[in-house]
Structure 1
Amino acid sequence: MTYRLLALDIDGTLLRSNHKLAKETKEAVEYVRSKGVYVTLATGRTYPSAKKVAKALKVDDHELITHDGAFIGSSVDEPMFVRRLDSDRIFQIVDILENYHCHIRLLHEKYALANKIKQKNHLIARMNMGVGDPLLYAVNFVDSLSHHLIDQPLTVPKIKAHFWNEMEREDALEELEEVVSGVRLTSSDEYSVDITDAAVSKARGLQVIGQKLNIGLQEMVAVGSFENDQEMIAQVGLGVAMGQAPQSVKDVADWVTRSNDQNGVGYMIKEVFRKQLKVML
C-alpha cells in the first residue's frame, strides 16, 4: 500500500511532554512532505492554535482538522467544512455543566467564552486549559455562562470542560449522555470532556479532506495518543498509537510507535515510509 496522506494529532503526539516540537520530529515531517505525502493535523485544538503548529511544520497552507473535526480548512475565514452546536444544545449543555465544579469554554474559531472559577484559595482561576493548548485568541470570562447565553445566544464548533475531580467528571459525562441528544462526547486528556456535534469526528474530517484530494482512507496514516483519536486510528489504512497512549487506543491501532518524548512520530515515519520512499530518514 502506498500511503499518500499523513494525519498527526498535536498534544501527546507531535509535541513532547514539555509542549515543544522536537527538531527530529520537524525534520521527519518536512522530509515526508517533500516526497509528496500530504501532511495534515487532526486535533482537538482550536483552529488558530493548530495553525501555529502547522506553520512550524510548513503545512499551514494545508487543510487542517481542528475542534475534533468540527472545523476544517486552510483559512479561519473560509473553512471547507464547519459544523456548529446550535444555541439550544449549547445552553442545555452549559446548564448541566454549571452544576459541577469545572471550567467551561465555548470554543469559537475566533474567540472563546468561559466561566470564572474560584479555586480553594478564593482567587479567580483564568485557566489556559492546559499550557500545551494555547488558544491564541481572545477569551471572554463571565460569572455565569447560562445567564450570558440567555441574552446572547451563541453557536460554536466545540465545548470543552476541564474537571479537577474524576468522579465529578464521570457524573457529568453520564448526565450529558442521558440528557443531551445529537452530540459526541469524548476526551483529549484525562481531565476533560470535549463536546461536538455527533456528525463530526477526526475520522470524518479525514474523509472530507480525502474527498477533496481524491485520497481514500486506506491510503492514509493517522497517528494519535488519546481517546478522541481512536476512531481515526481505527479507520485509516495504517492507524498508529503513540507509545504512552492508553491501552484502549493501542488496541485499535495497527502499529504502536515510541512515546512522544522518544521521538515517536519521527521513528514511525522512518519505519513506515522508508520502503515507500526508498530512503532511510
Structure 2
Amino acid sequence: MKYKLIALDVDGTLLNDNHELSEQTMKTIQEVSRTGAEIVLCTGRGPQNSIPFMEQIGLTGYVISHNGAATVDVETKEIVHQFAMDTKAIQPYMDYFREKRVHFDVNTAFNMYVDNVEGMAAEIRSMYENYLMLPLDMPPLQEFSEPIVKITAFAYADVLDQIYEETSKWTPKFNSLRSGEYFLDLMHPDASKGNALKQLAERRGIRQEEVLAIGNYFNDITMLTFAGLGIAMDNSPQEVKAAANEVTASNNDDGVHEALLKYCLS
C-alpha cells in the first residue's frame, strides 16, 4: 500500500452539488479503508457536521475541521489540536462586518454563533440547513468559554472580494481565505488544511510521500501541495488544478471514486 493517509475535502469534493454522498463513492472509500489506509475528512465544516459523514461511511479516526483550525477524534470527540484566534483582535472584524451588513458566524471547535438566530434571512437559514448546522445566539466575546477558531463571512462573491482586499491590509493579520464562492474565512495565521494534515501525519508516523489529498477549492491548495499526491476535482478553479499533481472527474461524476480506484485500488 503506497498511500497510508488519505485526506478528502467534503463540499465540492466528497459530496455532489446536492450535498449528497453517492453509494459508489462510499463503497470505494470503504474498500480503500479495508486495505489499511487511514481516511481523514479535511473540511471547512466543523466537527458537528462532518463527523456524521465519517459515521455514515463507517470510519473512525479524525476529521480536520474549520479549514485546519481544529482536529477532532471521531469516536471520542476529543480536540486533538486547535489553533485559537486572538479574541481581542477579532472585535474590529466583527464591527466591520456589521457596518457592511455582511452576515458572519463565529466558530469554536464544536459550536457556531451568529448575532440573531431568529432574525436570519430565509436564504441564510437555508444555507445553514444545507450544511446540517444551525447556529446559536452569540454571547459577548468576553463570555466565550472556549477558544474561537474561525470567523466566516457569507456574501456575494464581489462583496467578499472587496472585503478580502480591504481586511488583508489590517494588522494583526489572520489567515484570510476563500473557502467557497460565497464564503470568506478568518483563522489563526498558522491554521490551514495543509498545516493540520502535516501535524496529523507526523502524529501518526506517516511520511509526506505516503499522503494523498483530494480537494476542489482555494482552501484546499495547502493540503494538495503538502501531500505526496494532490488531486484536484474537475470542478476546481484553474488555480487549484495548477497546484495539484493530477485532476480527477467532478464531484457530480464521482471524482473521488475515480481517483481512489486509480491510485489506491489498481
* RMSD between superposed Cα atoms in Å: 2.3
Cα distance, 1:77 vs. partner? 5.1
Tell me how far apart the structure 2 counterparts of residues 235 and 124 of structure 1 sit (CA, whole Å). Answer: 39
Aligned residue in 1 for 2:107: 107
Change (3 A) 1:171 1:250: same
Aligned residue in 2 for 1:245: 236
Q: Could you tell me whether the CA contact under 8 Å between 1:129 and 1:162 is conserved in 2? A: no
Matched, 1:193 2:184: yes
Q: Could you tell me whether the CA contact under 8 Å between 1:187 and 1:193 is conserved in 2? A: yes
Tell me how far apart the structure 1 counterparts of residues 36 and 78 of structure 2 sit (CA, whole Å). Answer: 25
Matched residue count: 264
Q: Could you tell me whether the CA contact under 8 Å between 2:32 and 2:265 is conserved in 1? A: no
Displacement over 3 Å in runs of 4+: 116-119, 122-126, 128-132, 151-155
Aligned residue in 1 for 2:151: 159
Change (3 A) 1:213 1:153: closer
Aligned residue in 2 for 1:262: 253
Aligned residue in 1 for 2:56: 56
Cα distance, 1:216 vs. partner? 1.6
Cα distance, 1:79 vs. partner? 1.3
Tell me how far apart the structure 1 counterparts of residues 21 and 158 of structure 2 sit (CA, whole Å). Answer: 33
Aligned residue in 2 for 1:141: 137
Change (3 A) 1:17 1:126: closer
Cα distance, 1:170 vs. partner? 1.6
Aligned residue in 1 for 2:16: 16
Deviation track 1:73-128 (CA, whole Å, cap 9, x = no partner) reads 20575211011112112212212222223211001223221134999xx9676525
Cα distance, 1:46 vs. partner? 0.6
Change (3 A) 1:123 1:6: closer
Q: Could you tell me whether the CA contact under 8 Å between 1:69 and 1:202 is conserved in 2? A: yes
Cα distance, 1:271 vs. partner? 1.1
Q: Could you tell me whether the CA contact under 8 Å between 1:128 and 1:134 is conserved in 2? A: no
**Structure 1, 75-84 or 179-188: larger mean CA deviation:** 75-84
Tell me how far apart the structure 2 counterparts of residues 215 and 78 of structure 1 sit (CA, whole Å). Answer: 21
Q: Could you tell me whether the CA contact under 8 Å between 2:71 and 2:196 is conserved in 1? A: yes
Instruction: Give the percent of matched residue pairs that are identical in Structure 1 and Structure 2.
Output: 25
**Unpaired segments of 5 or more residues in structure 2?**
none
Aligned residue in 1 for 2:28: 28
Tell me how far apart the structure 2 counterparts of residues 200 and 70 of structure 1 sit (CA, whole Å). Answer: 5
Q: Could you tell me whether the CA contact under 8 Å between 2:195 and 2:222 is conserved in 1? A: no
Partner amino acid, structure 2, of 1:141: D
Change (3 A) 1:249 1:171: same
Aligned residue in 1 for 2:69: 70
Matched, 1:236 2:227: yes
Cα distance, 1:175 vs. partner? 2.0
Tell me how far apart the structure 1 counterparts of residues 217 and 162 of structure 2 sit (CA, whole Å). Answer: 20
Q: TM-score, normalised by structure 2?
A: 0.91
Partner amino acid, structure 2, of 1:14: L
Tell me how far apart the structure 2 counterparts of residues 253 and 124 of structure 1 sit (CA, whole Å). Answer: 37
Partner amino acid, structure 2, of 1:73: V
Tell me how far apart the structure 2 counterparts of residues 225 and 131 of structure 1 sit (CA, whole Å). Answer: 22
Cα distance, 1:242 vs. partner? 0.4
The 5 A counterparts of 1:148-227 are 148-149=140-141, 152=143, 155-164=147-156, 166-227=157-218
The 5 A counterparts of 1:119-130 are 127-130=125-128
Tell me how far apart the structure 1 counterparts of residues 242 and 264 of structure 2 sit (CA, whole Å). Answer: 22
**Unpaired segments of 5 or more residues in structure 1?**
276-281
Aligned residue in 2 for 1:279: none
Query: SS state of the match for residue 98, structure 1?
Result: helix
Tell me how far apart the structure 2 counterparts of residues 153 and 95 of structure 1 sit (CA, whole Å). Answer: 17
